[in-house]
Chain A
Amino acid sequence: MNAKEPVIGRAALCFLICCSMVTCIVFSMPTFIAEKTSRGSLWLILGIYPFMVLFICIVKRVNSLFGRLTLREIYVSAFGRAAGGAVFMFFILYTAAVSALFFNIFTEGAAQFFLKETPRLVIRVLTALVLLYCLYRGPAAVFRMNVFFVLQPVLLLLIMAAGVNDFDVKHLLPLDDFGGAHIYDSAALLFFALSGIQIILLLYRYFSAETKKGFAKLSLVTCAAVCLFHAAAFAACFMTFGYGYLIKLQYPVMELTELIENVFMNKMEFFTMLIYAFFGLAAPLNLLSAVSLNIADATDGESPAGRRLRRFMPLLLTLAVLGLGELFGDTEDAGRIMAETLPLSLLFGFGVPSAALLLGRRKKTIVRARAFLKEGDMP
């Protein structure tokens, strides 16, 4: 690790997880999941927490086993040069694709809320330019920005809480009623929406010693907070609109804040729009910064080609996000893609790290056994 690489502290880790997992999807999430599983979505959101716990445990074990290796080095030492390199590349591509999807959803929302008559491409290019500028400021700057981004979900929660007069708890009852048999679709969507958590796998190497020490506890608490936030957003929308009306709304959180009456400013929608725009870019920024750091680690920074790649990395990543975004289409397509990529999320989230852990352990055991035998042979 060189002097210019970021060092992620304890607070920064919490903000990083929070800002990568709470994306602008939260504005449309209640409708997406309620459509399939009705009130049961609440349990589904909370039910995803054990998976997060499992993922955090795997990340912790993998990094404890492999020490200070980069993610590519971990995969190469576990699966071999060719297979490890390929898995690493696929993972990087997958993360870039997730960023592109988040970016797409964000610009789609921006087109709906802010600039209804502006062509989508103009909005995407404009947003991509801002993304590029932020990426050029460096990963350390991006990770510092999370402190300012993380305030937005908190404010959003407060704004939603202000609509308590319109809440009707009866809409949520009975709690054990699962409206449909499409739990898989909703779960897939939830998995994808929360897939920003993979950032901890990419950035573990950059955590400070203190952060690594308290990693499990901090991550678990933050993930619990994120799950509760999503559950609260869902419950607030469900209690306000009820199932019948909720599934007709594309951005229920925004609609909810429009209803809130306030003495100071009777349209809370104004603040919600600002919040939407502020934290919408956080997840793609964090994920792309993590990707750029990992690619930089995997390349030789001393060689001219490596230096060139590092210099143009923000531009390449921005172009990749724009290009992939064009392929993914609008929000409805994004929802479909999210549902279809659950196996991929599970593979990169649990399958590959678990395999690396098992293979790494086995290799380590073999190395130890060989060393033992060698010592035993000695007179």
Chain B
Amino acid sequence: MLKKIKPMRNRMPRNKKAEQGGLPYSLDGKTAILSGLAEKNGDIVLSRMPLGETGHDFAVSYIDGMTDKNALRLSVLPALKNYVPKTQGMPRPVEEAVYVADVQPVNDAEELMKQLYSGRLIMLFDGPDGAWAAELNGGDKRAVSEPKNQRTLTGPQEAFVENLETNTALIRRKLRDERLVVQKADIGGTAQRCVIIYIEGAADPAVISEINRRIAAVSADAVLTAAMLAKFLEDKPNSVFPQVRIAERADTVVACILEGRAAVMVDQSPYALLLPAVALEMFQSEDDYSYAPVQGSFLRILRFIAFFISAALPGLLVAVICYHQELLPIEVIAPLKYFEGRVPVSLPAQAVFLELLLQLLLEAAVRLPSYIGTTVGIVGAVLLGQALSAARVTAAYMLITMTLAALAGFCIPDHYFSVSSRILRLIILLPSLTFGLYGFVLACVMITAHICSLESMGTAYTAPLAPLRIKGLKDTVIRAPARRGKAGRI
């Protein structure tokens, strides 16, 4: 949308503003602020040109690669170069000649720098109120492509890109609702931009103002990714559990916004942060709604079981085999003991060794390029596993359990929650090794206490289970039929 620059008002005497900490009156003074930067940095452009036939000059400054040069060359510069001071005998303010999107006046040197580094076009003129910043984004952009981390079988294949405007447009296109608000915000003291997206009337105003407050209070030098901003938005950033949901799919964000949540998107980051987040929704996938309710519910329950297997199964197995063999039937315990007898390494040592090996393999697979990553998977799963078993370093059942736990961890749709399950596995494993089932249960009680104490923007992380809200449970563990299971507001 094009916006006409407001005419200059409240003209102040020369140098008065500069004395007050504002920008200098003259164009020379203003360009002097940027000329040093332009000399030092090859990508900062500062050029000065005559302003029509007025006898004065004007200057534009921008960062090469971040500004749309075509629009600058075809729209802004000709308008200023061919500036006519009078129209039908009436004086015409210079700013009225330029038509560009989202123009803001700049009042001091610090703001001038901030706007320049945000990728905006800076226009400088003589006089007070002679500095303006315009949204003229340009440069190379990545096209909207398939999601890489949150794939679905039947859902839309559109993921966010690094360009903020493209991302907000993706959401607007899916949610054509007049109540949808896309509110701009600057991240703390950085030059980074972000937007808060929500539906007015559906989102809690207290949550929106709290998000605004936390974004404004960010004290980092730079916030490069959405995940970095997430740490500033979480109530307890040191917790094992993610208290902000991160989505790369526009349809996921739209679904959450419709439920009354807010989305925060950072410029130059292809992910959206969804707030408030609750633990139960980490098990949900957009695919659930593509299936019949029974199938969707089955998959969800499977994910809950997968989480339990991933986090607790190795600990439980070690506790039972090491300390409480009498609890298992003889038919089960006899073969286990037979295998254990053939391996010289103790069971606790095997468990810890395999857990570390697994974490190493996972980390290596993530870091390497995809074609080598697959090889690492094969080497780890097949060759190393078989070799370990053949060399009697580990018992086969222990290998199976740990592999099962790792596989189960991948079934959790939220990547960060999946990583949590890996850490929980270690947290549960260690007390189980030391105190058997009692250690296992105490670790579980502590994890329960921890998860119950978490909140995301004032909403209990365990909601709607604890505190229990029956209506809210409609579409959590069980995927409710579409006609009845209107997604519950948190």
Interface residues of A (CB under 8 A from B): 9, 11-12, 15, 110, 114-115, 118, 123, 126-127, 130, 133-134, 137-138, 140-142, 144-148, 265-267, 269-270, 273-274, 277-278, 281
Q: Which of B323, B438, B452, B468 contacts A137 (CB 8 A)?
A: B452
- Kindly list chain B residues whose C-beta atoms are within 8 Å of the C-beta of A142: 449, 452
B5-13, B70-78, B439-447 - the one binding chain A = B439-447
- Kindly list chain B residues whose C-beta atoms are within 8 Å of the C-beta of A12: 467-468
Instruction: Check: B437 CB closer than 8 A to any chain A CB.
Output: yes
Q: Which of A9, A140, A146, A281 contacts B445 (CB 8 A)?
A: A281
Instruction: Check: B328 CB closer than 8 A to any chain A CB.
Output: yes
Instruction: Check: B382 CB closer than 8 A to any chain A CB.
Output: no
Nearest CB in chain B to that of A12: its residue: B467
Bound Cα distance A126, B438 (Å): 10
Q: Are B445 and A278 in contact (CB under 8 A)?
A: yes
- Kindly list chain A residues whose C-beta atoms are within 8 Å of the C-beta of B320: 270
Interface residues of B (CB under 8 A from A): 320, 323-324, 326-329, 435-438, 441-442, 444-446, 448-450, 452-453, 460, 462, 465-470
Q: Are A134 and B466 in contact (CB under 8 A)?
A: no
Q: Are A114 and B449 in contact (CB under 8 A)?
A: no
CB distance from A35 to the nearest CB of B (A): 28
- Kindly list chain A residues whose C-beta atoms are within 8 Å of the C-beta of B441: 274, 277-278
Q: Which of B328, B437, B466 contacts A148 (CB 8 A)?
A: B466
Q: Are A114 and B446 in contact (CB under 8 A)?
A: no
Bound Cα distance A281, B438 (Å): 12
Bound Cα distance A15, B460 (Å): 17
Bound Cα distance A123, B326 (Å): 21
Provide a sorted-by-A list of 26 A–B residue pairs whose CB atoms are within 8 angstroms: A11-B467, A11-B468, A12-B467, A12-B468, A114-B324, A114-B437, A115-B323, A115-B438, A126-B435, A126-B442, A130-B442, A130-B446, A134-B449, A137-B452, A141-B453, A145-B448, A145-B466, A147-B465, A147-B467, A148-B448, A267-B329, A270-B328, A273-B324, A277-B438, A277-B445, A278-B445
Nearest CB in chain A to that of B462: its residue: A144
Nearest CB in chain A to that of B436: its residue: A114
CB distance from A198 to the nearest CB of B (A): 22
Q: Are B327 and A270 in contact (CB under 8 A)?
A: yes
- Kindly list chain B residues whose C-beta atoms are within 8 Å of the C-beta of A127: 442
CB distance from B12 to the nearest CB of A (A): 46
- Kindly list chain A residues whose C-beta atoms are within 8 Å of the C-beta of B449: 133-134, 137, 141-142, 145
- Kindly list chain B residues whose C-beta atoms are within 8 Å of the C-beta of A9: 467-468
Nearest CB in chain B to that of A147: its residue: B466
- Kindly list chain B residues whose C-beta atoms are within 8 Å of the C-beta of A144: 452, 460, 462, 466-467
Bound Cα distance A289, B438 (Å): 23
A114-B323, A114-B437 known; A278 vs B444 contact (CB < 8 Å): yes
Bound Cα distance A114, B437 (Å): 7
Q: Which of A15, A123, A273 contacts B437 (CB 8 A)?
A: A273
Nearest CB in chain B to that of A134: its residue: B449
Bound Cα distance A172, B336 (Å): 43
CB distance from B284 to the nearest CB of A (A): 20
**Other 8 A-B pairs with CB < 8 A, given A145-B466, A147-B468, A277-B438:** A11-B468, A15-B468, A110-B438, A115-B323, A115-B436, A145-B445, A147-B462, A278-B444
Q: Are A134 and B445 in contact (CB under 8 A)?
A: yes
CB distance from B469 to the nearest CB of A (A): 8
Bound Cα distance A267, B437 (Å): 15
Nearest CB in chain A to that of B450: its residue: A137
Nearest CB in chain A to that of B441: its residue: A277
- Kindly list chain A residues whose C-beta atoms are within 8 Å of the C-beta of B323: 114-115
CB distance from B78 to the nearest CB of A (A): 58
CB distance from B209 to the nearest CB of A (A): 15
- Kindly list chain A residues whose C-beta atoms are within 8 Å of the C-beta of B470: 11
CB distance from A348 to the nearest CB of B (A): 28
Bound Cα distance A277, B323 (Å): 15
Nearest CB in chain A to that of B431: its residue: A126
CB distance from B144 to the nearest CB of A (A): 41
Nearest CB in chain A to that of B460: its residue: A144
- Kindly list chain A residues whose C-beta atoms are within 8 Å of the C-beta of B326: 267
- Kindly list chain A residues whose C-beta atoms are within 8 Å of the C-beta of B460: 144
Bound Cα distance A265, B324 (Å): 15
Q: Which 10 A-B pairs have the closest CB atoms?
A: A141-B453, A277-B441, A137-B453, A114-B438, A147-B466, A144-B466, A11-B468, A144-B452, A134-B449, A270-B327
Q: Are A140 and B446 in contact (CB under 8 A)?
A: no
